[in-house]
Structure 1
Amino acid sequence: MSTFVQNKVYLWGILLHYFIQKKSAAEAHKILADTYGDNALSDTTCKDCFRRFKNNDFELEDKERSGAPKKFEDEKLEKLLHQDRCQTLTELGKTLQVDESTVSKCLKVLGMNQKQGFGYRMN
């Protein structure tokens, strides 16, 4: 197991400890950031972990994922936006059968952001 993975599992264990202690994901992230600096988990990762813990998923190792669906999601997202750039994150997520945060991350990777009232545009 790589050092990166060992550190991530260690930090997820710390998050589990704070979850059991009834701390919020934001509080846990602040503690990790104060303690580990640039080596801390991101705020989003902390929130994702807490969401998993709330769903009784206490597995500290990453679940296996294939890389193929990601490219498919990006391509499908691009097609959806080509058809209608004014769709919301919720609508796009439902169509792609993924969480809104996944859609948001894909949009950022594609270099797009939402302009108020004007749909999605390239950055």
Structure 2
Amino acid sequence: MLCIWWNSKGLVYFEVQDSGQRVTADLYKAQLSRVNQALSRQGNNTATTRFLHDNARPHAAKITQQKIKELGWEVLFHPPYSPDLAPSDYHLFRSMQHSLAEKKFKNREEVEIWVSNFFESQLPEFFEKGIHSLRGRWPRVIDNDGEYLLD
């Protein structure tokens, strides 16, 4: 499983989880701390972070909400079951899927190297387009009564 955070400027942070590993609220809370550190290292003002994630259990857990409040991040509303409003789903993973066709990895390190190389090979416009297209997708989802968009 790939846990990834990115913004309109590029990759912020990612972790490859072991096969079968579950993302718990405790793990997610620790990941958010690492994401905040990565944002700081990249020179981003973490006090103005707007954060979009879905309402999966680890994301909605009390300790997660407390961590986000501690970090001072603004959480953007994300309706349940809305992959059309998740830039990672409609933009990032779709692009990765095309590049992954028929690839086989021997171990976790190979996966991590591939992910790093994939992001390093992307032009800045790739990230910008993925994040900024959310603004146009939101009314389309509403106009479509929440039904999945056909891209």
Which has a greater percent of helix?
1
TM-score when normalising by structure 1: 0.33
Greater relative contact order (CA < 8 Å, ≥ 6 in sequence): 2
Which has a greater percent of strand?
2
